[in-house]
Amino acid sequence: MPFKGSGAEMATYPDVHVADLQAACRGWPGSRAEKAALAALVLRVRIERAAARLPSTVIATKPDISMIERRLYLSIGEPGLSHEAQIRRMLVIAGALQAYVAICEILHGRDPDPLPSLEDLDAWTVAVDALDEDLYPAPATVPRQRELLSAVTEK
Amino acid sequence: MVAEQAPQRVLLTWADIAAAASGLEPGMRDLLLELVRAKNPISATSVTTADGPWFVRNMHVRGHIGVGAEAVDLPLKPTTGLTIVSARNGTGKTSIADGARHALSGGTKRSYQVLAENVHYPYRDIVVTLSNGRRDIEIVCGRDEKVQWRDANGILSLPPADWTDAFGRYMPVLLYPEMSQVIQDPSNLHAFLKDALELTALEELQAILKTDREKGSAARRAVEAAHASALSGVIKAGHQELAATMRDCGAFPDKEADARIQALAATLPSTAPPPLGLPDVWAMDDRRRERAINALDRLDAAARSDAAGAAALLGLLQKALVPGDARLDHLRERDVCPVCQAVGHDWTRRATEEADRLRTATRDLRAANHAVTAALRDLGGCFPAALTDSLRRTLARMDDPTTELRIKQWDRLVRVATDMSTITTVTSLIEALEESVDLAAWYTNIREALLARRDDVIAAKAAVRVHIGAWMDIYARERPAVDRLAVADRLDRRVDGWIRTAREDIFAPIGNEVMELWSILNPDADLKLTGIALTGGTKLRRSVALNLADGDVALPTGKNSSAVLSTGQRNALSLATYLPRATQPGSPFGFLILDDPIHAFDKGRVRYLAQHLMTLAERFQVVVFTHDDRLWRELRGLGAMPTHIQMDRHGDGQPQVRVRNVASPGIQRLDELQRVLGAEKGSPIGTPSAVISMTLAMCRQAVDTEVVAQIELLGRRVGSPEATVIADLRGAKKTLDQLELLNRYARRAGLQAIALNAFTPTIHALNGAAHGRAPDGDPKLWVRQTRRIINAVQGIGS
C-alpha cells in the first residue's frame, strides 16, 4: 500500500516498496561494509513504515512517519495484548527505537564516519525483524532484513 | 695559563670538538687536537642531511606486519601541512607507520616488537619517497629488513650514518608502542629521550681518553712500585738522608730532587760489605773420637806397667851388661852378682832378660804416648776455632744473657783444643767433646742468623743503587705517559663537563617546551608540571625528574611521583616530551609522523592537541594516523582543512587496504555515487524508484555530514560551548533545519549565509528519499544539485 508522508514536501513523492529497496541494496556495488549505510537506510524505512501502519485502535491520528517513538510506545496498549505480550512488545520497541535513533544519527551526518559498523547493523536488523514480527505477526509480506543481509554477504 | 672559554654550542661532531679545542689551555688543546687527528673523522655532515628539510612524498608498504600482498600506497603532499590518516583498528595504520619508521630510521632497532615476517606475503617491500623540493630520495627495505637508499639511477647504498644519527636524535616518527612505554611508566621518560641526548662524538672521545688514562695509570703504578722498592732498599741500607729525600719527593721527583737523589745514591757502596769473620761450624768425628779414647786407654795401660819409671834401672842394667868395665867383666866371668855379690846365679842372663823386658815396656809406653798425642791432635776439628774479634763483638751485643757463658765455654774449649795435655783421661776427653758438641749446636743457629742478616745487608747495599737506577729509568721511560695522564685527567673532566653542559643545553629548550606543551594540553587540570630536569650523575644519564603540583601543593618527588598521572595525562606527557624533541631546530626532517597520538585523550585534550598540531603544521608536514575521527573533527572545528585520508579494507575477505582522500566526506560520497550511477547502465542495480530513493538518501547523508561538520566548526569559531552546539543540533532534526541552523551560526560568525530558497526543492527531494520515497528525475542531476549545496556549505567557512 503506497504511503503518503506527513510533510507536504514529501507527500508528492511515491513510496518505494521495501522489497525494492532491499533488492537495490543487494544489487548496489561494493562490500557489505561499504553498503552498511544503505542497509541502515532500509532498516529505518522499515521502522517508520511499521510505525505508520499501526491501526487506528492504537493511535487516532493519521498514519504517517511523524512521532515514530510515540506511535510505537502507544502500540503497547494495543487491544487484546496479554500482560506478557505487552512486556515483550515494550522490549521489542525499546530495541527498535534504539536502532532508529542510532541510524538517524548516522544518516543525519552526526557521525563523521558515514558507515555504521557491521556489528551494529546486525544488532539493528535483529531489533527491526523483532519489531515487524511482534507488530504484524501475520505472514510477512516482505523478506526479513536478516535474509537480505545474508544475501548481501554471500554476494 | 690561557683563559679558557666555554664552548658556545652543543658539541655534536668531531668538527665541533676540534673547534672547541681553541678555548683550552695549551696542554689539553694539544692532546685534544692530537686525538681528533688520530680519529680522522670522515666528514661532519653528509650532503643529504644538510639538504633538509625533507618531506614525505609517498609511503609504499607491502608484506609488512598487517599489510599483505596487496600493496598500500599513501601519497602525501611533500610540504608543510596537516594530514590525518584515519582507519579502523586492524586496517594497517601502524603497519604502514612502522614500515615508514623502519625505512626512515635506516633500519635501527625498534624499542618494541613487531612480527618479523608477514604470514600472508613474506616478500616485504617498503619504499618511502622523500623530497626536499629539489630532488627525491627513495628509501627501500626488502624481506631481510635491510634498509638502503636508491638514487635516481637505481643504485643502492647504505643510509648515511649522520642521517641515522639524526633520526635517533630527532625521532620524527612516533609510534604508539613507543609512547606506550612512557604511558605505562613515566619514569621511562629518560629512555624515551636517551637518543635525543646522545653525544656520540663526545662519548667516543671520552672512551679514547679512558684508554689513554688507563695507560697513564699503569705507567704511574710502575714508577710508584719502582720508587717504593728503591726506598725500601735505602731504608735497609740505613741511608737516612737519602730515604728522607726520596720520601719527600715521592715517586715523581722534580729535577732538583732528582739531582740530589743521584748525588746521595753515589755515596752508597757499590760492592758488598766486608765479611763478618765467622768461624766455621765444627762437628764431632766419631771415628777420631774412638781412636783417641782407645789411645788413652792404651796409654793408661802402659802407664800402669813397671816400665814407667824404670829408666834408671834399665840404664844400670845396660851399663852392667856392657863389656869394657874391668870390674864388671871380672864379675861376669865369675858369675858374681855385682849388687848382692851372690855367685852362681847366672845374673848376666837374668840381667839381660830384665833389661830386654824393660826396654820393650818403655818403648810401648812411648808409643802409647805418641798415639794419644796424635789422636788428640786429630780431634782438633771437633773443637771450635778461636773466636774472632768481630764475632766476639757481635756476640757481646746480643741481648741473650747466656751468650756470655757461651763465650767463656768457647774460650775454654779453644784452650783445650790448643793444649791437649790437659786431657789425660778418657773421662776428661768425653766431657770436653760433649761440651764442644753442645756449643757447636748453639753456634750453628747463631751463625746462620748472623749470616742471614749479613746477606740482607749485603743484598740491600748491593742492590740499592741498582734500584734507584731502575726507578729513575722507569720514571724517565714512563714520564710521557705519566705527564699525559695528568693532562688526560684534566681533559676528561672537561669533556665530562661538556657532556653535561651539552645534555643540559639539548634538554633545556626541550624541557621548557615540555612544560609549555603540558600546559597547552592540560590547561584545565589541577595537576601542574612545575619543573622537569635531567638527573643521574655527572653525565645526567639516568633519569628525568618531574616536579608536579596538585594545585598549590607540590607532590613528593622521586621515581614514583608521576604515578599520580592518569593514562591520558601520561599520554599527554609523552607527547609533550616527544614533540619538542622532534621539532628541535636543526632537524633535517620536515615531517612528523604520529601514530595514534590521542590515545586515552578526552575531548578537551584532543582539541588542545589539534590546536598544537595546527601550529606545528605551519612548520612541518604533520601526518597523523588514528582510528579516532575526533582529531579530524576537532581540526575541522578549529577551521583547519587538513588533508584527510581514509583507509579501509575491501575485496573478498577484505585483504586489500584502500586509501581514499576524504578531506570532504560529503564530496567523497557524491563521487562514489556518481561512479555507481555511471556503471549502472550495464546492469541495473534495482528498480528506478529504488535506485533514485537510495541515491538521494545517500546524497542527503552527504549534505548532512558536511552541514554538521560546518556547524561544529562555526560553533567553535563563535565560541559556543560544545553542549550548546550539540543541543542546537538535536533541535534541528531535518536537513533544512540543520541548514537553517548553519545559517544562524554563519551570521553569528559574521559570515555570508546560504540562500536556502535556491536549494529547497533539492532538499525536499533528498528528505523524501531518505524516508523511502522516490522523487522524479535523473538521479545524476540530483547528485549534481547536491554537490552545489555542499559547495555552498563548505563555502561558508572558507
Each residue's pLDDT tens digit, B696-720? 999 999 999 889 888 888 887 788 8
Give A-chain residues touching B706 at CB under 8 angstroms.
109
The phi and psi torsions of B794 (rounded to 5 degrees) equal -70, -25
pLDDT for the residue B6: 45
- Cβ contact B616:B597 at 8 Å: no
Q: Which three cell numbers stand for residue B20?
A: 672547541
When CB atoms are compared, the residue of B676, B709, B769 closest to A29 is: B676
Contact residues, chain B, for A30 at CB < 8 Å: 650, 676
Between B437 and B313, whose confidence is greater?
B437
- Mean pLDDT is lowest, of A39-48, B579-588, B618-627, for B579-588
Q: Are strands B543-550 and B553-554 parallel, antiparallel or unpaired?
A: antiparallel
Residue B596 has pLDDT above 80, yes or no: yes
Write B470-475 long-range contacts (CB < 8 A, 24+).
Answer: B470/B226, B470/B229, B470/B230, B471/B223, B471/B226, B471/B227, B471/B229, B471/B230, B471/B251, B472/B258, B472/B261, B472/B262, B474/B222, B474/B223, B474/B226, B475/B223, B475/B226, B475/B227, B475/B251, B475/B252, B475/B253
Whether A18 contacts chain B with CB within 8 A: yes
Query: For the residues B650-656, what does the mean pLDDT come to?
Result: 58
* B138-142, B382-386, B539-543: least confidently modelled range: B539-543
Which of the four pLDDT bands, split at 50, 70 and 90, describes residue B437?
very high
CA dihedral B354, B355, B356, B358 (to 10 degrees): 80
Q: How far does A10 lie from chain B, in Å, by closest CA? A: 5
- Is the pLDDT confidence value at A130 over 90? yes
Please name the residues in contact with B271: beta carbons below 8 A apart, sequence gap of 6 or more.
Answer: B462
pLDDT confidence of residue B456: 64
Residue B562 has pLDDT above 90, yes or no: no
pLDDT category of residue B148 using cuts at 50, 70 and 90: very high
Task: Please tell me the predicted confidence (pLDDT) of residue B640.
Answer: 78
Given a cut of 60, whether residue B167 has pLDDT beyond it is yes
The per-residue pLDDT for B591 is 95
Name the residue among A13, A23, A107 with its Cβ closest to that of B774.
Answer: A13
Cβ-Cβ pairs closer than 8 A, A with B, add up to 136
pLDDT of A6 reads: 41
Do the chains contact at B690 and A24, CB–CB below 8 Å?
A: yes
| Contact criterion met (CB < 8 Å) for A20 and B690 | yes
For A90, A111, A141, B673, the CA distances from A25, given in Å and listed in that order, are 30, 22, 18, 13
Can you tell me the mean pLDDT for B400-418? Answer: 89
Residue B701 to residue A113, Cβ atoms within 8 A: no
Cβ-defined contact of A13 to B698 (cutoff 8 Å): no
- The sign one gets for the Cα dihedral B792, B796, B797, B798 is positive
pLDDT surpasses 90 at A17: yes
pLDDT at residue number A23: 94
Cell of B459: 743484598
Instruction: Report pLDDT for B654.
Output: 56
Region B329-351 average pLDDT: 84
How confident is the model at residue B740, as a pLDDT?
Answer: 94
Confidence band of A11 (pLDDT split at 50, 70, 90): low
Q: With a cut of 60, say whether residue A4 has pLDDT above it.
A: no
State whether the Cα torsion B689-B692-B693-B694 is positive or negative. Answer: positive
> A-chain residues within 8 Å CB-CB of B767?
7, 9-10
Whole-number pLDDT of residue B510: 83
* Interface touch B773/A31, C-beta < 8 Å: no
Q: Do A109 and B708 touch (CB under 8 A)?
A: yes
Q: Is the pTM of this model over 0.80?
A: no
Position B283 pLDDT exceeds 90: no
Q: Does A37 touch chain B (CB under 8 A)?
A: yes
HSE-up of residue B720 (Cα within 13 Å, Cβ side) = 22
CA A50 to chain centre: 7
Assembly ipTM: 0.85
- Residue B798 vs residue A26, higher pLDDT: A26
- What is the tens place of the pLDDT at every residue in B764-774? 999 999 999 99
Cα B199 to the center of its chain, rounded Å: 15
Contacts with A33 from chain B: Cβ below 8 Å: 648, 650, 654
Look at A114-123, B184-193, B374-383, B554-563 and tell me which has the smallest mean pLDDT: B554-563
More confident residue, B10 or B91: B91
Predicted confidence band at B668 (pLDDT cuts at 50, 70, 90)?
A: confident
The shortest CB-CB distance from B774 to any of A16, A25, A109 is to A16
In angstroms, the CA A146 to CA A131 distance is 13
Segment B1-24 shows an average pLDDT of: 67
Both ends of chain A: CA-CA distance in Å?
Answer: 30
Q: Nearest chain B Cα to A3, which residue?
A: B773
Q: Return the percentage of chain B with pLDDT > 70, whole number.
A: 92
* pLDDT(B550) > 50: yes
pLDDT higher than threshold 70 for residue B481? yes
List beta partners, residue B644.
Answer: B84
pLDDT band at B153, cuts 50/70/90? confident
Which residue is closest to A44 within chain B, CA to CA? B771
Three cell numbers at B468?
734507584
| pLDDT band at residue B558 under the 50/70/90 scheme | low
Over 80: is that where the pLDDT of B296 sits?
yes
Predicted confidence band of residue B459 (pLDDT cuts 50, 70, 90): low
Residue from the list B698, B764, B772 with its beta carbon closest to the beta carbon of A15:
B772
Q: What is the pLDDT of residue B7?
A: 43
Average pLDDT, chain A: 82
Position B542 confidence tier, pLDDT thresholds 50, 70, 90: low
Q: Are A20 and B689 an interchain contact pair (Cβ–Cβ within 8 Å)? A: yes
What average pLDDT does chain B have?
A: 84
Cis peptide bond N-terminal to B338, omega within 30: no
pLDDT at B3: 39
Q: Chain B neighbours among A 98-117 (CB < 8 Å)?
A: 106-114
Say whether B768 and A10 touch across the interface (CB within 8 A).
Answer: yes
In this prediction, residues B551-579 reach a mean pLDDT of 79
pLDDT given for residue B793 in this prediction: 92
Please give the grid coordinates belonging to residue B498.
Answer: 661538556
Query: In this predicted structure, what is the pLDDT of residue B689?
Result: 93
